[in-house]
Amino acid sequence: MRVQLIGIGTAVPEFALSQSQVRDLFLAEPDIAPLTARLIRAAYDNSAIERRHTVIEDFASGGGTFLEPESRVIRSPGTGPRNELYAREAPKLSETAARRALHNAGVQPSEITHVVTASCTGFYAPGPEYRLVRDLGLDPTVEREHIGFMGCAAAIPALRSAWRICLTDPTATVLVSCTEVCSIHMRSSPDPDQIVASAVFADGAAAAVVTARPPERGEPRELPAPSRALELTGFTTALTTDGEQDMAWIIGDHGFEMTLTGNVPRIVGREVRAALAPVLERTGAIDQWVVHPGGRSILDRFEQAMDLDESALQRSRAILRDNGNMSSATVLFILADLLGDPTAETGQQVLITAFGPGLAVESATARVTAREPHESAASVLEEQAASARS
Q: Which amino acid, residue 333? A: F
**Bridge partner list, 210:** 5, 174
Three-state DSSP state, 6: strand
- Range with the lowest mean pLDDT among 11-25, 36-50, 67-81, 210-224? 210-224
Q: Which residues contact 186 (CB under 8 A, 6 or more apart)?
A: 56, 66, 74, 197, 198, 201, 255
**In terms of Cα–Cα distance, which of 377, 332, 379, 375 is closest to 141?**
377
Q: Which residues contact 382 (CB under 8 A, 6 or more apart)?
A: none
Residue 390, pLDDT > 70, answer no
Three-state DSSP state, 336: helix
DSSP summary character for residue 152: G
**In terms of Cα–Cα distance, which of 217, 233, 207, 232 is closest to 107?**
207
The kind and range of the H/E element at 100 are: helix 79-105
For 331-355, write each residue's pLDDT tens digit. 999 999 999 998 899 999 999 999 9
**Bridge partner list, 3:** 232
Structure confidence at residue 261 (pLDDT): 84
Residue 378, pLDDT > 70, answer no
The dihedrals phi and psi of 179, each to the nearest 5 degrees, come to: -135, 130
pLDDT band of 295, cuts 50, 70, 90: very high
Q: What's the rounded Cα separation, in Å, for the pair 246 and 359?
A: 8
What helix, strand, coil percent values describe the chain, rounded to 5? 40, 25, 35
Residue 372, pLDDT > 90, answer no
How many alpha carbons lie under 13 Å from residue 88 in its C-beta half-sphere? 10
